[in-house]
């Protein structure tokens, strides 16, 4: 008899497990220390960047050009996020001056972490690749950006907030 799992496609687990394994690899092959941590975060972010570029290229092959930046951000929130995480971004806010805040209330890649201090300490590792994904996707769509992410400490849901800032 099979377990009752939440509905999700069979191709989610491989990526999630691979993502975890990549993080373990990056971190165990390096020494501890502040500079190392920063370097590792950068490595993960850069990997995500390349993947984001490749992915968006495939995803937008047959798509008409975007009207404007907001149109692009909506695409990221709907199509791109669904492609990667099987759900859309829950909330998009902007100041209409280049800063966008994307909120995911159930970010899938933090699954292994338990709530508490460890959670906040470890979370950046689990966000770096995704930030790179978004930055890479935007880059291929002609938008330069800085993408940062944070998580809230609420244990019930795990919101991911992405700030994207256009740089000129």
Partner 1 sequence: MSRQSNRTTDSKKMNSELFTLTYGALVTQLCKDYENDEEVNKQLDKMGYNIGVRLIEDFLARSSIGRCQDFRETADVIAKVAFKMYLGITPSVTNWSPAGDEFSLILENNPLVDFVELPDNHSTLIYSNLLCGVLRGALEMVQMAVDVRFAQDTLRGDNVTEIRMKFIKRIEENLPAGDD
Site membership for partner 1, residue 47 (CB under 8 A)? yes
Piece of 24-32, 91-99, 101-109, 147-155 that binds partner 1 (CB under 8 A): 24-32
Distances (CA, A) of 144 to 69, 128, 150, 156: 11, 17, 20, 34
Nearer to partner 1, 25 or 115 (CB): 25
Q: Which stretch binds partner 1 (CB under 8 A): 11-19, 65-73, 95-103, 143-151?
A: 11-19
First to last CA, the chain: 57
31 near partner 1, judged by CB under 8 A: no
Tell me if 13 contacts partner 1 by CB under 8 A.
Answer: yes
The DSSP symbol for 62 reads T
Length of the chain: 168
Is the separation of the CB atoms in 147 and 98 below 8 Å? no
- Nearer to partner 1 by Cβ, of 49 and 100: the residue is 49
Sheet of strand 145-151, all strands in order from the earlier edge strand to the far edge: 91-94, 99-104, 160-166, 145-151
Site track 61-80 with partner 1 (rule: CB under 8 A), x = hit: -xxx----------------
């Amino acid at each position: 008899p099979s377990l009752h799992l939440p509905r999700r496609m069979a191709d989610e687990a491989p990526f999630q497990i691979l993502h975890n394994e990549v993080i373990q690899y990056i971190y165990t092959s390096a020494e501890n220390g502040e500079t190392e941590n920063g370097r590792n975060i950068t490595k993960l972010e850069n990997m995500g960047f390349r993947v984001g570029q490749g992915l968006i290229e495939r995803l937008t092959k047959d798509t008409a050009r975007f009207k404007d930046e907001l149109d692009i951000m909506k695409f990221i929130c709907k199509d791109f996020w669904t492609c990667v995480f099987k759900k859309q971004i829950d909330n998009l806010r902007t100041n209409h001056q280049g800063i966008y805040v994307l909120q995911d209330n159930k970010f899938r890649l933090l699954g292994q972490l338990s709530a508490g201090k460890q959670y906040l300490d470890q979370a950046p590792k689990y966000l770096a690749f995704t930030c790179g994904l978004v930055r890479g996707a935007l880059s291929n769509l002609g938008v330069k950006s800085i993408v940062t992410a944070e998580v809230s400490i609420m244990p019930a849901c795990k919101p991911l907030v992405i700030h994207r800032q256009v740089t000129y």
